[in-house]
Structure 1
Amino acid sequence: MSHPFGTVSPDAILEGAATDAYFERTRTTLEYAEKNPTVVAEVTADQFPTGSFDVFTGVNDVATLFEGRAVDVDALPDGQLFDGGPVMRIEGPYLAFAELETSLLGFLSQPSGFATAALEARLAAPDSLVLSFGARHVHPAITASVERAALLAGLDGFSHVAAGEILDRVPGGTMPHALMFCFGEGNQAEAWTAFDEAVPEDVPRIALVDTFWDEVSESLLAAETLGDDLDGVRIDTTSSRRGDFRHIVREVRWELDARAREDVDIFCSGGLEPESIRNLRDVADGFGVGSHITGADSVDFSLDIVEIRAGSDDPSSGRAQAGNEGKPVSKRGKLSGRKQVYRTPDGGHHVALADREGPEDGEALLEPLIRDGEIVREFDLDEASERCLADAETVGFGTDG
């Protein structure tokens, strides 16, 4: 089978075959009519600033998608926050990129949703260890996209092995309930001891302590069994059995401290979201977040032509000649004309026509990505993460929590 898991191949994406059928029919029609105007198109979610910010990412994949195409592309920096106006601008003969629209929007929409949700989790416990545990909720083919978005939003790590190879990061994680079941009730100490003896020394000794007995009993048994080698305990109790989860965590903390085990950290996982993290951040040391990230709504980006360059209908004319004026166009409900977006020191996000002056002290955010088909930007995940967290502070992201 050429597609054993039903996934679209990278070649199909790069060639423009991963597209909606109407783009193929558009190409057929324009070629028949000998029309290929040079256009300016913009990618937006909201036309005007809304005050509700999202994280922009996926631009690294878009750069790969457009490499070698006869277009110029400008885009927000990876990790920038936005609440309206264009996040990307494309200029070139329309048929140079028509079929790429579907993949382009997919590369931006879902990762930006993942990153925005991950940032919510990060800022819910800014001083705690927060890991991404959601790979099991998405198709395996996109796990690296999930984990990259989580790292960009400032999470401390993730659990997926193959994603770690792609991102050149070491995945984290210790033991599942399945390991405890394989040893059986009453043999928890044997399971923890075997784990301690088997895995490399650099793996944290974090015991899962809610499989058979209550969390306090298993936590104390783990502390007794592994002694000073125990780094922490993980409570993954399902919501149907938690009761007052905060009280459970506080009780575990109390009983460990009463036995002089203040050194044992408490790590929580299992259906956590920002509100529950905020409720636990002063009594727990770390969190594993899954479905809040992977279940995030995609950012609803769309691509629209906003300008037609003059004298560019001839398919052999290529890019419009310098000096040709563009004609602003738009569908109803969208804003015509080439635009620029700005960040002001007070955290404001402003949209203006590109040929007009922006706000005083405003920083223009759309920056070159592709020039004549060549990638002109480098991508550094650590820098993108720093940008994301700094911009979140500037715009006040998450301050309502």
Structure 2
Amino acid sequence: MSNPFGTVPPEAILAGDATDAYFERTRTTLEHAGKNPHVVAEVTADQFPTGSFDVFTGVKDVATLLEGRDLDADALPDGTLFDGGPVLRIEGPYLEFAALETSLLGFLSQPSGFATAALEARLAAPESQVLSFGARHVHPSISSTVERAALLAGLDGFSHVAAGEILGREAGGTMPHALMFCFGEGEQPAAWRAFDEAVGEDVPRIALADTFWDEKSESLLAAETLGDDLDGVRIDTTSSRRGDFRHIIREVRWELDARGYEDVDIFCSGGLDPDSIRELRDVADGFGVGSHITGADSVDFSLDIVEISEGSEDSSSSRTQSGDEGELISKRGKLSGVKQVYRTPDGGHHVTLADRDGPADGDPLLEPLVRDGEIVREFDLDDASERCLADAETVDFESSTA
């Protein structure tokens, strides 16, 4: 069986077959009528700034999708925070990219949602270790998309092995409750010792400490069992059994410290969100975040034509190259005309027509991505992460999402 899990293969995406049916019918109709106008189209979420920022990512996949086609494209840099106005602009004969719209929006919408949620978690505990544990909540085929978005937003690591191979990063993690079950109640020390003996020295010794008995008892038992080799304990108690989770963590910390285990860290996981992380960040040392990231709403991007001019099947010169301007056009509720967006030093996000002056102190954000079908930008995850975190400080992201 060539496609055992029924996923859409890359070949179909690149061929434009991963599309909505009405784009195929549009292509058929335009070809029948001999029409293929030269257009400028923009991808936006909001037309005007709203004061609420999102993280822009997925642009590397969009560039791959557009590569080799008779068009130009400009986009925000990967990891940029945006608030209104276009994040991507495409110019060329409409039929060059008409059938790509569905995939293109998918490449941007979901990863940007993941990254925005991951940034919320990151900033909830900026001094703590925060890891992505959410791959189990999405289809395996997009696990690397989740983990890349998490790293872009500044998270310290992730758990998915195959995603790590794709991203060139090593996955992390220690032990699940299933390991403890395999040894049985009362045999927790045997489980922890076996783990310590079996895994590589580079793997932190983090003992899961809430399986059979209360968190304090198992944490102390783990510390007594592994002694100086124990790096930390993980508390993964489900919300239905927690009670006052902060009090539980404080109690574990107190009892460990009272017995000389001040160097044993406490790592929390299990249904955590930014609010619960903020509540625990002064008493816990690290957090695993899953469903808050993977359950994030996709950013509601849409692609709209904003300028149009007559063109034929062999029309290839861009408006920029020819110096010609097309007719301003838009659907109701959208803004016509080619636009540029700017970031000002005070964190402002401004939208103007591209042929008008922007803010005197503003930096234009839309930059070349594809020229004549050739990708003209390089992509580096570390650079994107640095940009994302710097932008978050500049625009005061935490206040915008409060």
Q: Do they superpose with TM above 0.5?
A: yes
Map 1:142-181 → 2, pairs under 5 A: 142-181=142-181
User: Secondary structure at the residue paired with 1:318?
Assistant: coil
Name the structure 2 match of 1:359: 359
Name the structure 1 match of 2:313: 315
Q: For 2:315 and 2:165, how far apart are their aligned partners in 1?
A: 44
Map 1:174-213 → 2, pairs under 5 A: 174-213=174-213
Write out the 4+ residue segments of structure 1 that deviate beyond 3 Å after TM superposition.
none
Name the structure 2 match of 1:86: 86
Paired letter, 1:29: T
Could you report, residue by residue, the CA deviation over 1:135-187 in whole angstroms, capped at 9, with x for unpaired residues? 00000000000000000000000000000000000000000000000000000
Map 1:2-401 → 2, pairs under 5 A: 2-309=2-309, 312-320=310-318, 322-399=322-399
User: Secondary structure at the residue paired with 1:17?
Assistant: coil
Q: For 2:112 and 2:328, how far apart are their aligned partners in 1?
A: 28
Is the 8 Å Cα contact of residues 93 and 319 (structure 1) preserved in structure 2?
no
Paired letter, 1:187: E
Paired letter, 1:279: E
Q: For 2:21 and 2:69, how far apart are their aligned partners in 1?
A: 21
User: Secondary structure at the residue paired with 1:307?
Assistant: strand
User: Secondary structure at the residue paired with 1:204?
Assistant: coil
Is the 8 Å Cα contact of residues 307 and 329 (structure 2) preserved in structure 1?
yes
Paired letter, 1:319: S
Could you report, residue by residue, the CA deviation over 1:213-262 in whole angstroms, capped at 9, with x for unpaired residues? 00000000000000100000000000000000000000000000001111
Paired letter, 1:316: D
Q: For 2:346 and 2:201, how far apart are their aligned partners in 1?
A: 48
Is the 8 Å Cα contact of residues 152 and 388 (structure 1) preserved in structure 2?
yes
Deviation at 1:323, TM superposition (A): 2.4
Q: For 1:316 and 1:396, how far apart are their aligned partners in 2?
A: 47
Q: For 2:159 and 2:58, how far apart are their aligned partners in 1?
A: 21
Paired letter, 2:316: G
Question: Percent sequence identity over matched residues?
Answer: 83
Is the 8 Å Cα contact of residues 265 and 284 (structure 1) preserved in structure 2?
yes
Paired letter, 1:277: I
Deviation at 1:365, TM superposition (A): 0.1
Q: For 1:135 and 1:205, how far apart are their aligned partners in 2?
A: 22
User: Secondary structure at the residue paired with 2:386?
Assistant: helix
Paired letter, 1:362: G
Deviation at 1:360, TM superposition (A): 1.4
Aligned residue pairs total: 399
Is the 8 Å Cα contact of residues 75 and 89 (structure 2) preserved in structure 1?
yes
Q: For 1:6 and 1:249, how far apart are their aligned partners in 2?
A: 44
Could you report, residue by residue, the CA deviation over 1:252-289 in whole angstroms, capped at 9, with x for unpaired residues? 00000001111000000000000000000000000000
Could you report, residue by residue, the CA deviation over 1:327-352 in whole angstroms, capped at 9, with x for unpaired residues? 11000000000000000000000000
Q: For 2:103 and 2:314, how far apart are their aligned partners in 1?
A: 26
Paired letter, 1:355: D
Could you report, residue by residue, the CA deviation over 1:311-339 in whole angstroms, capped at 9, with x for unpaired residues? x3322233356022211100000000000
User: Secondary structure at the residue paired with 2:327?
Assistant: strand
Q: For 2:289 and 2:189, how far apart are their aligned partners in 1?
A: 27
Paired letter, 1:365: L
Paired letter, 2:311: D
CA RMSD of aligned residues (A): 0.8
Q: For 1:50 and 1:354, how far apart are their aligned partners in 2?
A: 20
Structure 2 unaligned spans of 5+? none
Could you report, residue by residue, the CA deviation over 1:63-98 in whole angstroms, capped at 9, with x for unpaired residues? 100000111000000000011000000000001111
TM-score (normalizing by structure 1)? 0.98
Is the 8 Å Cα contact of residues 329 and 336 (structure 2) preserved in structure 1?
yes
TM-score (normalizing by structure 2)? 0.98
